[in-house]
């Protein structure tokens, strides 16, 4: 089944993940529709990053079935070109002189420099995130928001169909968070992507996510955030003091 013919970018059935004999994700099932944005929320230690890494095969699953665009998880060579991943934090040595252009050159199989098509794609994705003018700046000199934009561009280089992001607004100021999520939503539409992201920003999730998965080892809810993020559920997940924000949901083409 090709990525174009299936309705779901991801199908997860009864996924369980144990780490050092400790159950971190328990019997989780959900689907991610093609072209949608799915947000995973939950308290610290709920298993959100572990779930994401299990979907990416960075951690082994204990049991359950996963399909990416209808392809069984075990066929990772078929799946790999379809997906991309931006982890929560990437640390760069301040003394290492790697520039934005240098980062993209690392991706090229050529021993020196990039091909014309590789350079064209680099400029295209950097333009998409408004970072083309920063081509020769060191990664260590960029702000948190600028670095995140470069990493988003980098993740798009090979035309993935499904993008995984772990806390894309981590280390970015509040104004920058809003900008990053608006940028991701625009990229999702322009690049015809499906996105699965971990976030704790409930207000932004209400605005941009088509589906929210509430995780605390097991799945507590799955559905449109306006319908499933009730005050009772948030209290169950986080305890007291969490507010539910109302937002109109933007139209997705």
For residue 167, the model assigns a pLDDT of: 85
For residue 150, the model assigns a pLDDT of: 92
- β-strand partners of 202: none
Q: What is the DSSP letter of 81?
A: G
- pTM summary value: 0.85
Distances (CA, A) of 74 to 26, 158, 200, 203: 20, 21, 30, 36
**pLDDT, tens digit, for every residue of 143-201?**
888 888 899 999 999 999 999 999 887 666 555 555 788 889 999 999 999 999 998 88
The answer to whether 240 touches 208, Cβ cutoff 8 Å, is no
Residues of the chain short of pLDDT 70, as ranges, are 1-5, 89-94, 170-178, 240-253
For residue 197, the tally of other CB atoms under 10 A from its CB is 24
For residue 178, the model assigns a pLDDT of: 56
For residue 247, the model assigns a pLDDT of: 42
CA dist 143 and 232 (Å) reads 38
Q: What CATH number does domain 8-89+161-238 carry, 3.40.50.300, 3.40.50.1000, 3.40.190.10, 3.40.630.30? A: 3.40.50.300
Angle, helices 144-155/174-190, rounded to nearest 10 degrees: 20
Element (H, E) at 63: strand 63-68
* Reduced DSSP (H G I as helix, E B as strand, rest coil) percent helix, strand, coil of the chain, to 5: 35, 25, 40
């Amino acid at each position: 089944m090709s990525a174009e013919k299936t309705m779901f970018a991801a199908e997860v059935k009864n996924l369980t993940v144990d780490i050092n004999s400790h159950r971190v994700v328990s019997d989780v099932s959900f689907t991610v529709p093609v072209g949608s944005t799915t947000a995973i929320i939950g308290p610290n230690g709920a298993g959100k990053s572990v779930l994401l890494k299990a979907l990416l095969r960075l951690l082994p699953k204990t049991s359950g079935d996963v399909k990416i665009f209808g392809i069984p998880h075990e066929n990772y060579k078929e799946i790999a070109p379809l997906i991309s991943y931006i982890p929560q934090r990437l640390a760069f040595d301040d003394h290492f002189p790697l520039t934005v252009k240098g980062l993209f050159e690392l991706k090229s199989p050529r021993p020196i420099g990039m091909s014309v098509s590789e350079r064209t794609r680099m400029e295209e994705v950097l333009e998409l995130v408004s970072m083309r003018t920063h081509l020769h700046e060191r990664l260590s000199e960029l702000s948190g928001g600028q670095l995140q934009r470069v990493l988003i561009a980098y993740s798009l280089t090979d035309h993935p169909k499904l993008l995984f992001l772990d806390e894309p607004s981590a280390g970015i100021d509040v104004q920058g968070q809003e900008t990053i999520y608006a940028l991701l939503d625009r990229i999702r539409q322009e690049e015809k992507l499906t996105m699965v992201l971990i976030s704790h920003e409930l207000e932004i999730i209400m605005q941009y996510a088509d589906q929210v998965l509430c995780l605390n080892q097991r799945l507590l809810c799955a559905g449109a955030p306006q319908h499933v993020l009730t005050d009772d559920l948030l209290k169950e997940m986080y305890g007291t003091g969490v507010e539910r924000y109302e937002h109109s949901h933007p139209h997705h083409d």
